[in-house]
Amino acid sequence: MDYLVLILISVGLAMDAFAVSICKGLAIGKPTLKTAVVVALWFGIFQGVMPLIGFAMGTAVYDLITDIDHWVAFALLALIGANMIRESFSDEGEDVDDDMSFMTMLLLAIATSIDALAVGISLAMDDGNIFVSALVIGVITFLISAVGVVAGSTLGSRYGRHAEFVGGVILILIGLKILLEHTGFL
């Protein structure tokens, strides 16, 4: 996989975690470096592990869908992206408080990384190294989430919707690129 595409996928996937991190920073008020790192670790680790799980699932069914793998990758990325765009226009804000308990962070980490599971399935259709992909996704999510916690405490929650919208557009465009490459248009 092209590293620019991998970075763009990583940024797109990280936008849910970024939006929640902004809300977490807003709820905490004045987060410490430790708090920002803890939130970022939760989101980064889960965002990095979920593609591995998705890859294993995708590999298990790859032989069954090999002729339409590019359509599957496009559909997954387009659905994830469209959902992120829809959520960016939703009046339902992220309901996040300053609770840093194990169960709260576990649920937030799972909720923000489900998209990465689906992307892992689509990565099974690619010839790239899933471990490098998962590492890049996890590290970028870690960095963006840490910035989100700090930004949330200073900028407020008004940028979370924009981030989610941009992330959705990025994922749709990458899905379209995969489809066009495999159908011979690019």
Model confidence at 167: pLDDT above 90: no
Q: Has residue 120 got a pLDDT over 80?
A: yes
Contact 36, 149 (CB under 8 A): yes
pLDDT of 91 above 70: no
137 phi, psi to nearest 5 deg: -60, -45
Q: pLDDT exceeding 70 applies to what percent of the chain? A: 89
Give pLDDT, residue 156: 57
Minimal CA–CA distance to 7: which of 103, 105, 133, 104? 133
Query: Domain ranges in the chain?
Result: 3-182
Average pLDDT estimate for 41-68: 88
Tokens 């902004």: give the residue.
22
pLDDT in tens, 14-38: 988 888 888 788 778 788 899 999 9
On the question of pLDDT at 95 being above 70, the answer is no
Q: Domain spanning 3-182: which CATH class is it, in words?
A: mainly alpha
| Dist CA 40 CA 100 (whole Å) | 12
- pLDDT of residue 93 exceeding 70, the answer is no
What was the pLDDT predicted at 160? Answer: 60
Greatest Cα pair distance in the chain: 52
What mean pLDDT do residues 79-101 have?
74
Rounded distance between C-alpha atoms, residue 94 and residue 79, angstroms: 20
* Residues recorded for the chain: 186
Residue 17's φ and ψ, nearest 5 degrees, are -65, -35
Rounded-to-integer distance, Cα 138 and Cα 101, Å: 21
Confidence label for 92 from pLDDT (cuts 50, 70 and 90): low
Instruction: Answer whether residue 59 shows pLDDT above 70.
Output: yes
The CA distance from 142 to 7, in Å, is 13
80/82: higher pLDDT: 82
CA count, 13 A, side-chain hemisphere, 66: 6
Tokens 């963006």 label which residue? 144
pLDDT of residue 143: 97
State how far the Cα of 80 lies from the Cα of 99, in Å rounded to an integer: 27
Query: Which of 163, 119, 116 lies closest to 18, judged by CA?
Result: 163
